Amino acid sequence: MIMQTFRRTLAGLVSAAALFALTSLAHAQAQQSRLDEIVAKGVIRVGSTGDYKPFTYLDRTTDKFSGFDIDLAESLGKALGVKVEYVKTSWPTLMKDFEEGKFDVAMSGISVTLDRQKKAFFSSPYMREGKAPIARCENKEKFQTLEQINKPGVKVIVNPGGTNERFARANAASAEIVVHNDNTTIFDELLSGKADLMMTDSSETLYQQKLKPQLCAINPEKPFDFAEKAYLLPRDIALKAFVDQWLHISRETGAYQAIYTKWLQ
């Protein structure tokens, strides 16, 4: 009888301790929410590369950002009731800058990857697409498939440090990979004949062919792989929940579609 009473008492103490620990953890997380910090400071810091039209572009003469994701960043800031402060990052340093806490959210046409997911949260995806080629229009029929691209003598241009380079190296190892460090001029390299094609997100191929009629997006409706774009967030449940809800409302009210039409149609 004494032993049974002892066991019940011990079990009760363990349960109470576990409940206390969970309650304390939940309280600590609530107290440390990045969402609360952003609202209290009145500023959300948005990391963006500024070199990926139509999603983000930094005008070096005015030092101002513009683009699809920049308009959405302003919408997010308005929903939060805070000012948006932009922080310049780059594709090679994106995750390093993120881990160092240089910004609260990254909005830059970022593809969802499992490697990035190991270190961060993603918002709900806001766009579905995949990698597709873009080339000078006279060469459009030459690069319809990966088999046609993955050959010696074919020059595939890439910007360093992102999913475009990784996809090209994984799927076109027999071709010549040309690394070009300036993403804002990379399509001019195609026009000048310094490379044969680039494989990038299908949304970008559609946008670039509008800007440069000599270039043709190749089968953007049938990309080589599956990908989604989303916003890179710290592991803060409250902030992710807010961003997801803001995206949901933006879609349902037509606000998202208005920005999409402005930049991508």
pLDDT in tens, 50-78: 999 999 999 999 999 999 999 999 999 99
**137: domain range?**
130-227
User: The tokens of 221 are what?
Assistant: 């409706």
Q: What is the pTM of this model?
A: 0.77
Examine residue 102 and state whether it is found in any structural domain, yes or no.
yes
Provide the CB-side half-sphere exposure for 91 (13 A, CA). Answer: 20
Spatial neighbors of 39 by CB under 8 A, at least 6 apart, are 80, 81, 82
| Token pair 């961060």: residue | 120
**Residue 116 shares a structural domain with residue 134:** no
Cα(65)–Cα(127) distance, rounded to whole angstroms? Answer: 21
Residues 75-106 pLDDT 10s: 999 999 999 999 999 999 999 999 999 999 99
**Domain shared by 143 and 218, yes or no:** yes
> How far, in Å, are 77, 87, 221, 252 from residue 249 at the CA level?
14, 26, 27, 5
Return the pLDDT at 185. 94
Q: Is residue 246 part of a domain?
A: yes
46: domain CATH number is 3.40.190.10
Looking at the 3D structure of the chain, how many domains does it have? Answer: 2
109 belongs to a structural domain: yes
Helical (H) or strand (E) element with 137? none
Q: Are residues 215 and 236 in the same domain?
A: no
**Do 118 and 139 reside in the same domain of the chain?**
no
Residue 246 CB neighbours (<10 A): 20
State whether 122 and 235 are in the same domain.
yes
